[in-house]
Amino acid sequence: MFLLEVNPLVLPDIGLVFWNTIAFLVLLIVLGKFAWKPMLKAISERESGIEEALLRADKMKAEIAAMQNENEALLVKAREERAGMIKDAKETADKMVSDAKDKAKQEYERIISDAQLAITQQKNAALTEVKNQVGTLVVEVAEKILRKELSNKAEQESYIKQIAEGVKLN
Amino acid sequence: MASRTIKSLLVLCLSLFTMAFSGHVFANEKTVQTEQSNPAAAHEPVAHEAEAFNVTETILDHIKDDHSWHLWGHTSLPLPVILYTPKGFEFFSSAKFMNEHHEQIMYKGNYDYKIIEGKIKIVDAKEAVDVEASKALWDFSITKNVASLFVSVFILLTVLLTAAAAYKKTGITSAPKGVQSFMEPIVLFVRDEVAIPNIGKKKFAKYMPFLLTIFFLVLVNNFLGLVPFFPGGANVSGNIAFTMTLAVCVFVVVNLSANKNYWEHIFWMPGMHWSMKLFLAPIELIGVFTKPISLMIRLFANITAGHILVLSLICLIFIFKTVYASAIAVPFAVFIGMIELLVAFLQAYIFTMLSAMYIGMATEEHHHEALDHDGHKNVAHH
């Protein structure tokens, strides 16, 4: 107490305490309601907005990356499909060619065999005709021989021989 | 380099200007002193000696509160006096305490009042202080400090409401502009550097208006106190009544928001031997009061010390009674003034930060670790 009376600097005046309390409360209430509240609200809203925007940007980036990956995967798949298709086409073409070849060969063989058959038949037919003609000839020769037979037996025989040789030659 | 040269040139010009000016003021002061001393004790050399320049008185006069606001020379702004005595309230102008010769006189109201050493006292017929009657006198006057406080409140309301209105007008999407861009970093500073680290992310929002109001009020009054002429010139934040009021507000907020855990740590410190608990309880209880008291004294002492330092340096000119002392005194006073600018911000920050820390301590939740430790100890005791 002695100190308080000695030094007026450390002796608080009731007047200033009173007015200061009022001033502080007025400031606290008025600023609290009309300054700090909107300011802090706006600041935090802006901050959350920025944060959201950043998050959204990150998400977007991830989405774009995913899309790119997907595109690449699609591309790879398409490439694979194309390669497969080309391979299939080639195989089909090869098969067609070989099939055609086989068929052609078969046809060729069939034609050949048909031709051979025809040849054989004609040959046989020709042979038959020849044989028939030979028979006719033989008959004719026999007739001739029979007509000559009366004159000479030896000659007859040589003649038959001659004829037979001629037949063989045929 | 160029800017440095310009700066030193400016300082030199300022020093020379103040030197010339202070010489003029000094001359005036001298004539005033002789004038004043003339009618009373012109032919008494001893009394004349007593009228000589008193450094302590001059400095204290500048630091103390006053019932009028000094503008220049002998011109002062009279301020309203509000007194409460057993005979009721009284309102009158502080100009009534002065006569036309700027001398202190008695004012006859319900009682006879006179300003003795800056404070209104009740005096008897012989103009001697009536101590008993003065005790019943309550002085609610709008003094220089109160008026300055109102100026600071006006400034704060204008600036901050303008800044807040800008958010409504421009919305939250645009970048801050003007006053808004100047206030927002400070608000963010208080939030991110003061409130959140000390109180924690969960609870800080509730205390933000309180901390921000304290910070800005102290800051503005610190700065206004550094302005040497009219709108400033009062030593509000270096006045013990101002710091005491704020400290009491902090005390009330801290103790009202204190939780069970806080009181437990004060009266029955967990995890200690019972004898230690008994020993710690009174110390912790004293701590409840010393925290706000330290806040009060710190701000008061820092700001007052700064003012005394600047005034002492300026008083060097009057002590040495030569204009040339200002060549040293003024640059030093400017230097101290620069430091005071830093101190003004620093003290506002420290006051707010410590308030936030005390609130943080009072609202801190029980740690799970401590709980386990506590439970273990209790079991051991039983």
In a domain, B212, yes or no: yes
Query: How close does chain A come to B37, measured CA to CA in Å?
Result: 26
Assess A11–B contact: CB distance below 8 Å, yes or no. Answer: yes
Rounded mean pLDDT, A13-38:
91
Residue ranges of A 35-94 with Cβ closer than 8 A to chain B: 35-40, 42-43, 45-46, 49
pLDDT tens-digit profile of B61-110?
A: 888 888 888 888 778 888 888 988 888 888 888 888 887 777 778 888 88
The domain of B96 spans 72-142
Whether the predicted pLDDT of B32 surpasses 70: no
Same domain? For B235 and B350 the reply is: yes
pLDDT tens profile B325-365: 888 899 999 999 999 999 999 999 999 999 999 999 999 88
Best residue of A3, A22, A27 to probe chain B, by most B CBs closer than 10 Å: A27
Question: What mean pLDDT comes out for the span A82-93?
Answer: 94
Query: Does one domain contain both B86 and B191?
Result: no
Query: How much is the pLDDT for B352?
Result: 95
In a domain, B257, yes or no: yes
User: The domain containing residue A15 runs over which residues?
Assistant: 2-169
The fraction of chain B above a pLDDT of 90, given in percent, is: 30
Picking from B111, B142, B173, the residue at the C-terminal end of a domain is: B142
**Of B319, B339, B320, whose CA–CA distance to B58 is shortest?**
B319
Q: Which of B285, B309, B254 is nearest to B63 (CA)?
A: B309
- Top pLDDT among B21 and B142 is at B142
Q: Are residues B164 and B77 in the same domain?
A: no
What's the pLDDT at B119? Answer: 82
When divided into structural domains, chain B yields a total of 3
- The amino acid at residue B218 is V
Answer positive or negative: Cα dihedral of B4, B5, B6, B8. Answer: positive
Query: What's the confidence (pLDDT) of residue A147?
Result: 73
- pLDDT attached to residue B35: 39
**Does the pLDDT at position A43 exceed 80?**
yes
- Of the residues B89, B114, B142, the one at which a domain ends: B142
- pLDDT > 60? residue B14: no
- B62-94 b/e with 16+ CB inside 10 Å = b? bbbbbbbbbeeeeebeebebbbebeeeeeebeb
Same domain, B266 and B324: yes
Dist. CA B4–CA B120, nearest whole Å: 50
Which residue has 């006051």 as its token pair?
A: B351
Same domain? B164 vs B112: no
Q: How many domains does chain A have?
A: 1
Assess whether B336 and B227 both reside in one domain.
yes
Within chain A, how many helices (H) and strands (E) appear?
4, 0
pLDDT one-digit tens code per residue, B37-71: 444 333 444 444 445 678 888 888 888 888 888 88
**Residue with the larger pLDDT of the pair B69 and B11:** B69
pTM reported for the whole predicted model: 0.71
Give me chain A's average pLDDT, please: 86
Are B27 and B134 found together in one domain? no
All residues of chain B having their beta carbon less than 8 Å from the beta carbon of residue A35 are: 160-161, 163-164
* H helices, E strands: number in chain B: 13, 8
Which pLDDT band holds residue B3 (cuts at 50, 70, 90)? low
B289 is a domain residue: yes
Q: What is the mean pLDDT of chain B?
A: 80
The answer to whether A19 contacts B140, with C-beta atoms less than 8 Å apart, is yes
Same domain, B36 and B162: no
B280 pLDDT higher than 80: yes
Q: Do B153 and A26 touch (CB under 8 A)?
A: yes
B9: confidence class by pLDDT, cuts 50, 70, 90: low
Q: Is-contact B310 B337, C-beta < 8 A?
A: yes
Q: Compute φ and ψ for A13, nearest 5 degrees.
A: -85, 135
Residue of A nearest to B300 (CA): A10
Nearest to A39 among B119, B164, B244 (CB): B164
The answer to whether residue B57 is domain-embedded is: no
Asked, for residue B67, whether it belongs to a domain, the answer is no
Q: Which residues of A touch B196 (CB under 8 A)?
A: none
Is the pLDDT at B153 greater than 70, yes or no? yes
Residues B258 and B133 in one domain: no
CA of B300 vs chain A CAs: smallest distance (Å): 9
CA distance B263 to B23: 62
The whole-number average pLDDT for the span B129-150 is 87
Calculate how close chain B gets to A21, using CA atoms only, in Å: 6
**pLDDT exceeds cutoff 90 at B127:** no
- Give the pLDDT confidence score for residue B46 in this predicted structure: 41
Residues of B in contact with A18 (CB under 8 A): 140
Q: Report the residue from A8, A26, A35 with minimal CB separation from B163.
A: A35
Chain B residue with minimum CA distance to A12 = B241
